[in-house]
């Protein structure tokens, strides 16, 4: 049975929201999950709803795999999103806000302030806020285009001698904190920026009366693709896409439920939002801002206990990364283990006089990326540095353009991806001269080269100097920079050329074994599943008796159809403190398991329209670690939700001793580190002769 992709995604976001309902979690952790669910909806409306609106507007009514037209999907999305937004605000108003108030972290209403505090905040507004505001008359034709996702204050004004009123918008500055603290308030107290602005906005309009105000927020279509013209300037074309997004259609208008009807009507008309795109909410807009409280200093009693990343046991900090990797392949599971060795490898490569060349793919980087800094230093020191910067990384395009320009100024050879495809592979190749020969060191990962997200995303990194993988890495870079076909690899299976075929072959092999009466099993961990061929292959495998275990965090468009297939299949989703991001696969293979890690989900876009990598984990100890991760996915009975036959999800029904996958991974990483530390201590102990009898 196929499940609609958009509804499946909304059900994933429901699982995120469910974490905010958990009364066993500290308050700020619950607020964090509420804000994540709101942030997820922002991107969903920009990309998925935006894309469907474009199809609907252009009259493209081709149904999806479930038979739903774009219009029918939009109708279902509206119904489901309405219920989700109502649940978000009911939770906020009825449960979280009272707890915030009891904990002393709720916002103050302007009406609660004393005259002295009110006067102090008026001065703050005049000196710190008002100079940043730009009122725009919305009475012009056409009305000004308002920014995407910003908080905007709508103001209805009337002059003393005017018969009617006029409508002005004031965009609140993004550079200011949403929660305004002041020395005039008690420690920890704050007011909301929009409340502050609404109270003193009349100071910007002398001679006019403010009849009413309301904050609002516009979400614009972000599903605008770059036109990859032959011989065109790709960077300039991407800049045009960024400009186009600023002027794209409104796909969602958010207003407080208390917004006056007449003003709300004028806002909707000005931004081009119909009733189907208007959401009235009973509370503060842009809930994502509240989640920042969970990451700010203080209020530790309202947060979950922090987990410190463990130093990877396989990495000796007294040795260089090249010396460490030369001793054998290294597998790092961040953030349970520190991502620092990966960054350290890049930084050592930049400084090492024996390193001749560095090649790397960058998809999403940190704004202050240490990888970018290392690559720049390497190029400036005369090393050959080639970097593929993927400009089509949605919503990171502007940062990637800036990073590419910085790299080019340092002398790095920058390549802007592969025409017609998005390059999503995560790979770093370092060529080093050793003993008169050239040796290749590689990092291949499931996550981006981003030291910030490596602290909150769960991913795997493989560090190796294996000759075959090194040769494949060279072949990969030669193919993507030289625009040749991705073929003739020894161990790696890239998409779009080889990965899907390999995965289908592996599934087919398990299906044949099951049909012959042998044990057959597939275990997979990924973010999303929606490729029809992959789903049909899984259906056939389950029907043949293959034991299938899938851990799919987000979208899953397949539910087994027959009773036999359902009996052989278990699909779970885990939402916990870290975002599960690694893609891992294991095939029983007649008792000699084949284990892989990948940058790709089992989605058509990843397997057919992106450049991705599927890499075997062949070293037995490392393969066993990947197997342990997969085992933990299906043992989890505290954070796991199980898919029901209709595609909905329910909490795990496994009532055995409580087991949480991520807590188990943290404990395992700690045990490995301590075991290494104890081994080192034993080596360092001085020899003590036995006492004579």
Active site residues: 424
Q: Strand, coil or helix: what is 302?
A: helix
Q: Are 204 and 130 in contact (CB under 8 A)?
A: yes
Please enumerate in sequence order all residues whose Cβ is within 8 A of that of 659, keeping only pairs 6 or more positions apart, or say none: 632, 635, 636, 637, 638
Q: Could you tell me how far CA 20 lies from the centroid of its own chain?
A: 18
* Beta bridge mates, 572: 551, 642
* Beta bridge mates, 213: 155
Interatomic CA distance for residues 191 and 648, integer angstroms? 40
Please enumerate in sequence order all residues whose Cβ is within 8 A of that of 60, keeping only pairs 6 or more positions apart, or say none: 70
Q: Could you tell me how far CA 313 lies from the centroid of its own chain?
A: 28
Beta strand 493-495 with 521-526: parallel, antiparallel or unpaired? unpaired
Q: ∠ at Cα 598 (223, 556), nearest 5°?
A: 55
Tell me the CB-side half-sphere exposure of residue 281, using CA atoms within 13 A: 29
Residue 288 CB: number of other CB atoms within 10 A? 18
DSSP per residue over 208-248, as a string? EEEEEEEEEEEEE---------TT--HHHHHHHHHHHHHTS
User: Which residue in 638, 633, 635, 669 sits closest to 651, CA to CA?
Assistant: 638
User: Using CA atoms in the order 273, 274, 276, 282, what is the torsion angle rounded to 10 degrees?
Assistant: 60
């Amino acid at each position: 049975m196929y499940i609609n992709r958009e509804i499946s995604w909304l059900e994933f976001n429901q699982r995120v929201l469910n974490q905010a309902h958990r009364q066993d979690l500290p308050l700020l952790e619950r607020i964090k999950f509420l804000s994540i669910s709101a942030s997820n909806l922002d991107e969903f409306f920009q990309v998925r709803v935006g894309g469907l609106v474009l199809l609907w507007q252009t009259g493209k009514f081709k149904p999806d795999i479930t038979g739903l037209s774009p219009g029918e999907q939009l109708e279902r999305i509206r119904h489901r999103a309405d219920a989700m937004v109502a649940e978000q605000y009911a939770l906020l108003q009825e449960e979280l806000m009272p707890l915030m108030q009891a904990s002393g972290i709720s916002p103050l209403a302007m009406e609660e302030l004393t005259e002295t505090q009110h006067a102090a905040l008026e001065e703050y507004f005049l000196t710190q806020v008002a100079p940043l505001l730009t009122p725009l008359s919305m009475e012009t034709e056409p009305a000004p285009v308002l920014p995407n996702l910003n908080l905007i204050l709508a103001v209805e004004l009337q002059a003393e001698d005017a018969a009617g009123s006029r409508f002005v918008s004031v965009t609140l500055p993004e550079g200011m904190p949403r929660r305004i603290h002041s020395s005039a308030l008690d420690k920890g107290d704050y007011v909301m920026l929009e409340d502050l602005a609404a109270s003193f906005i009349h100071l910007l309009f002398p001679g006019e009366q403010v009849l009413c105000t309301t904050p609002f927020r516009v979400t614009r279509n972000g599903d605008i693709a770059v036109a990859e013209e032959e011989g065109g300037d790709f960077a300039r074309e991407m800049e045009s896409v960024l400009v186009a997004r600023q002027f794209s259609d409104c796909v969602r208008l958010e207003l407080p439920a208390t917004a006056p009807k007449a003003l709300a009507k004028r806002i909707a008309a000005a931004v081009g939002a119909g009733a189907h795109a208007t959401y009235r909410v009973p509370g503060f807009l842009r809930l994502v801002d509240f989640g920042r409280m969970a990451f700010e200093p203080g209020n530790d009693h309202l947060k979950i206990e922090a987990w410190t990343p463990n130093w990877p046991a396989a990495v000796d900090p007294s040795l260089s990364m090249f010396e460490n990797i030369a001793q054998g392949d290294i597998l790092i599971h961040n953030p349970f283990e520190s991502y620092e060795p990966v960054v350290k490898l890049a930084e050592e490569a930049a400084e090492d006089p024996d390193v001749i060349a560095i090649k790397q793919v960058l998809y999403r980087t940190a704004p202050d990326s240490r990888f970018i800094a290392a690559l720049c230093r390497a190029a400036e020191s005369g090393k050959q540095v080639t970097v593929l910067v993927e400009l089509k990384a949605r919503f990171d395009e502007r940062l990637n353009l800036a990073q590419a320009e910085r790299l080019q100024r340092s002398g790095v050879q920058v390549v802007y991806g592969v025409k017609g495809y998005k390059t999503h592979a995560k790979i770093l190749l370092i060529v080093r001269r050793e003993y008169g020969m050239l040796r290749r060191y590689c990092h291949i990962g499931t996550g981006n080269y981003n030291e910030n997200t490596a602290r909150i995303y769960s991913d795997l990194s493989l560090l190796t100097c294996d000759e075959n993988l090194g040769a494949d890495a060279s072949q990969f870079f030669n193919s993507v920079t030289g625009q040749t076909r991705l073929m003739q690899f020894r161990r790696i299976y890239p998409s779009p050329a080889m990965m899907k075929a390999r995965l289908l072959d592996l599934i087919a092999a398990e299906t044949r074994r099951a049909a012959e009466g042998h044990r057959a099993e597939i275990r997979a961990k990924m973010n999303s599943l929606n490729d029809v061929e992959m789903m049909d292959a899984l259906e056939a495998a389950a029907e043949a008796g293959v034991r299938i275990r899938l851990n799919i965090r987000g979208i899953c468009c397949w539910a087994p159809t027959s009773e036999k297939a359902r009996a052989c299949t278990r699909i779970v989703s885990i939402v916990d403190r870290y975002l599960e991001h690694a893609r891992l696969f294991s095939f029983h293979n007649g008792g000699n398991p084949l284990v892989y890690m990948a940058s790709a989900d089992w989605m058509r876009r990843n397997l057919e329209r992106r450049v991705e990598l599927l890499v075997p984990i062949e070293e037995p100890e490392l393969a066993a670690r990947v197997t342990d991760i997969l085992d933990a996915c299906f043992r989890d009975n505290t954070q796991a939700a199980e898919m029901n036959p209709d595609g909905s999800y329910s909490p795990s029904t496994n009532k055995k001793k409580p087991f949480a996958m991520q807590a188990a991974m943290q404990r395992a990483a700690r045990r490995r580190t301590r075991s290494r530390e104890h081994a080192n201590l034993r080596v360092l102990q001085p020899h003590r002769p036995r006492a004579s009898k």
